[in-house]
Amino acid sequence: MDAYLAVVSKREVRRYLPRPIPEEALEQIVQAGRASGSSRNRQPWRFIAVTERTILRDLAPFVFRPANLEGCAAAIAVVLTNPRAQFDAGRTAQNMMLAAWTLGIGSCPNTPSDEAAMRERLEIPAEMSISTVLSLGYPAPGEPRPRADADPAAKLTRISRLPLAELLHRETFRA
């Protein structure tokens, strides 16, 4: 799948098949996060990959949509060494979700609802923050699926987004 198609076709997946993600695929996903651009190359992120079912169930109550973690094959917590580095955290999370999509793996970002409890369960120091937790898995029936043969223009006509003419301004801003 080419990069442009991956970007315009990526959709959140919230229900997953009970199928494990191969270690090689999980490593490729994390490598995509590691390769993300970073302000001043500070790389303020650390990743905690969780594939153990009992730990995923333990973590589920600490996000706003517990079912996303309860049913996923893996989760990756994006932990920041600098809580002000949210932009870099978003970049690395998006890289990982796009890499997963190209491998046929769905994902969804999850916001911690009880960050302190999640930090304690994952043994993360208090001075660090959890930016997001990515749930990952192969899409269940009825969920969006990546297709390398999809037409990007067709994908763009079906998404619910403001028209480009309302978003793009040339030279000067005109509301």
**pTM for the whole structure:** 0.92
DSSP for 10-57, please give it: ------B-S-PPPHHHHHHHHHHHHTS--GGG---EEEEEE--HHHHH
Q: Domains in the chain, please, with CATH?
A: 3-167 (3.40.109.10)
CA-to-CA distance for 44 and 93, rounded, in angstroms? 13
pLDDT digits (tens, 9 = 90+) for 115-144: 999 999 999 999 999 999 999 999 999 999
pLDDT digits (tens, 9 = 90+) for 1-45: 889 999 999 999 999 999 999 999 999 999 999 999 999 999 999
* Contact assessment for residue 14 and residue 68, using Cβ atoms and an 8 Å cutoff: yes
Closest-CA residue to 45 (of 134, 128, 135): 128
CA atoms within 13 A on the CB side of 157: 5
Instruction: Tell me the average pLDDT of the chain.
Output: 94
Please give the pLDDT value at position 159.
87
